[in-house]
Amino acid sequence: MLIAITRDISPNFNQCELTHLDRTPIDVELAQAQHHQYQAALRQLGCEVIALPAEPDLPDSVFVEDVAIVLDEVAIITRPGADSRKPEARLIAEALKPYRELRYIESPGTVDGGDVLRVGKTLYVGLSSRSNQAAIDQMRQHLAPFGYAVQGVEVTGCLHLKSAVTQVAADTLLINPQWLDAAYFKAFRLIEVDPGEPGAANAVWVDLGVIYPSSFPKTQQRLIEHGIRLIVVDASEVQKAEGAVTCCSLIFQKSGKM
């Protein structure tokens, strides 16, 4: 059984962090309605959805992906790169305690979960404006006993590693080679985003299919041509907050290997 932890949209979502985007007004009600559609898509893919309450003082807290990395054996509570987001970590630790033993990233390490792509027993970690080498070193120490390799990957031009690459099938990654060196991923089948849709590389994959935003029709077509089963959702409001579909959930096996 898969669990998907989500958090409702903060009423102060308009005060979110922005790095590469100009601020445009977010319709908070629409954002919450779209979030419900997203949760329904997760259920369609077999997840038991846990909806944590909105946090008014934490504008970006819908992006639960950034504050934890949940593996079968253990979960790492991150230390997010943006100061406004650091208090989110304590809250997600409470939510994850029933499911996993916890490890913590400590100062001077910073890492956002959006920078962490796990494929099998390898964690690729974006070296971005949010995530640093100190966090990578700590992750390596925490995870070596469980047999994980941790590989840093430089990213430029986007917020997180998973803005530039995500998994869409067991052997397949969706990638924007403009934002990172695709050579790190040469062992996989790669589907490139349409060049006119640079932000299109973020998709949520679970065994039964992929949740994908409706705003990238050309890349969507490429995925369909590769035989990927899609559930398409409108993510316009989280996109205005520089979010994407992976950011809004933490998906993991309920039982793990404790």
Contact of 123 with 72, CB cutoff 8 Å: no
In the complex, the residues that contact ligand CIR under the rule CB under 6 A are: 16-17, 19, 60, 63, 65-66, 82, 85, 114, 159-160, 241-244, 247
CB-side exposure of 208: number of CA atoms within 13 Å?
10
Rounded distance between C-alpha atoms, residue 30 and residue 37, angstroms: 11
Nearer to ligand CIR, 86 or 140 (CB): 86
Catalytic residue among 47, 142, 160, 248: 160
Q: Which residue is nearest to ligand CIR (CB)?
A: 114
Nearer to ligand CIR, 168 or 241 (CB): 241
| Catalytic-residue membership of 36 | no
Residue appearing with tokens 């390898």: 122
Catalytic residue among 16, 158, 247, 248: 247
Nearest distance, CB of residue 202 and ligand CIR, angstroms: 7
Strand ranges inside 39-184, DSSP E: 47-52, 68-70, 75-77, 102-104, 116-119, 122-127, 149-154, 165-169, 172-175
Nearer to ligand CIR, 92 or 159 (CB): 159
Nearest distance, CB of residue 67 and ligand CIR, angstroms: 10
Nearer to ligand CIR, 66 or 237 (CB): 66
| Catalytic-residue membership of 158 | no
Rounded distance between C-alpha atoms, residue 1 and residue 48, angstroms: 8
Report the catalytic residues: 160, 247
